[in-house]
Structure 1
């Protein structure tokens, strides 16, 4: 999510910038670990539970937990401007498409490969911001974007034996997440983060429930799939909450690069749990994507400092 907020002065009064950024980095690493464990749980379900059933059941748990959170925090708000509701609807549709393509790729391709491709999202958001929102991007960041997408091509390797349709699905997921983030950037500061997250969760759950009803594929859950689904639900909620907390505590340009630690977890879980180890081309491509992404964050930080203080953005 990307919702503009102001930082509470009380935080700055009680904590040095270094400690804020350190906490933000730790929270972002925790968020990426939670998201990757969620992905691993969902992938483990693919052998026993149909796609739509797994997505629907996880969605039900996610919606329930988000309703509790919004109720406790008083963050559920329906009286919003029509423009914001249009953006929320666009974001929800993008989230539905992203969930479908990403999880389909996850069910059928190695965890580390799919995770490596999805790391191109920050580069894609920078590119789309320049093309569609009129954001200024200098030649250095244009170069980083081009090199970064070259790294994506090293991972996907179209035309080779390792290329599959599910690599394309992961790329489509990148496009959908980019649209989601662009829509979220345009939301006004009056829209609570949890309201946005709940809308997306409800949309994905309704989509998955419709698919499960039409497809008619349902299986009884044994203890292990039930535990995996419960784990996926808890991890995905933890990932969202840690991510929001991270972006509220630290500077975006300092904290955001730590999202790439998801790739480390994906490599470990892919090797230990699923017995998959990516090829040298995939590892090299992932390194290029991560390096260019970090450079892009670095350039954005320098430009932000030159432009003066600005509100933080929750991603």
Structure 2
């Protein structure tokens, strides 16, 4: 029995989230043998090559001068901050905790769009946003036992990625998305090279670790391609909530690979964040606010520079 477009879109979204979660797990594993600048550099080389080839095949590199547009540069700067802070948090925090904080990103983008672009957000969605950030505070638990200053880096990543997504909305339509992605991947790779010495220098990479980083780059590309498939196949309001399955996969991988057992605060805070996000998606469906992939699930998952 063939699946309906919405169900197929949901399956594609779940596959994308699996790709992102396994990419994060590989990255966290790599942090045990090399610094994050080296991870950015090595994986960036693989990712930049793959994305550039895809962009070239689709004709997105026909006008490379468009990559020098100020908004593209601003987006890349925000992406760089988001990627670096995300990776540093990932190296020192449980995988599920970082994923839980990042789930607040769609709420932050909604808030930013209301504050800076004047988009209409009713009191119900404002309440959902406030509750979502309350959930993040439960996960971060500032001032309480179990608080880690690296949690602030995860929050910094949310801020940077919010700026990135808000800037993305203003990038002219004639600039191809794949050109923006290629530019971003290359800048992240260069940033990794520049930070390599300050963050500890080069460490010899084993064959298995190099293979894992190559796989991680492929997983990111697969993830974003399946996000696009999902958004083109099903209704945004139906498939977007399936982005939260990433949190489930992060918990499972954290438990099985890193022996990280989620505590009550993490589970409670995650539940509040997810519930707030789901309600926001529901309200946007009720009020009939159109959204595209960039605003709902794709790059608002986590830094796409990783």
Does structure 2 retain, via aligned residues, the 8 Å contact 1:77–1:192?
no
Tell whether 2:41 aligns with 1:53: no
Report the CA distance between 1:79 and its aligned residue.
Answer: 6.5
| Contact 2:140–2:151 (8 Å) recurs in 1 | yes
Question: Aligned equivalents of 1:273 and 1:41: distance in 2?
Answer: 10
Please name the residue that 1:38 is paired with.
23
Moved more, 214-223 or 166-175: 214-223
- 2:276 and 2:53 mapped to 1: Cα distance? 39
The two structures, once aligned, show a CA RMSD in angstroms of: 1.9
Q: TM-score, normalised by structure 1?
A: 0.88
Which one of 150, 169, 191 corresponds to residue 175 of structure 2?
Answer: 191
Q: State which of 122, 127, 130 in structure 2 corresponds to 1:143.
A: 127
Distance 1:248 1:77 in 2: 25
Could you tell me which residue of structure 1 aligns to residue 203 of structure 2?
219
1:93-112 deviation line (CA, Å, top 9, x unaligned): 11100110001000010000
Match of 2:216 among 214, 232, 238: 232
Query: Hey, what's the Cα distance between the residues in 2 that align with 1:281 and 1:214?
Result: 35
Per-residue CA distance 1:39-77 (angstroms, 9 max, x = gap):
000000111112111110000000000111112122224
Residue 276 of structure 1 is matched in structure 2 by 260
Equivalent residue number for residue 24 of structure 1: 9
Counterpart Cα distance in 2 of 1:77 and 1:300: 37
Residue 191 (structure 2) pairs with residue 204 (structure 1): no
Out of 303, 306, 310, which is 2:287 matched to? 303
In the TM superposition, residue 20 of structure 1 has moved relative to its aligned partner by: 2.3
Shift of 1:188: 2.8
Deviation of 1:126 after TM superposition, in Å, equals 0.6
* Corresponding residue SS for 2:163: helix
Aligned equivalents of 2:21, 2:292: Cα separation in 1: 25
Give 4+ residue runs of structure 1 displaced > 3 Å after superposition: 79-82, 213-216, 310-315
Does 2:110 correspond to 1:123? Answer: no
Task: Look up the match of 1:8.
Answer: none
Which residue pairs with 1:99 in the alignment?
83
TM-score using structure 2 length:
0.91
SS, match of residue 69 in structure 2: helix
Unpaired stretches in structure 2, ≥5 consecutive residues = 299-306
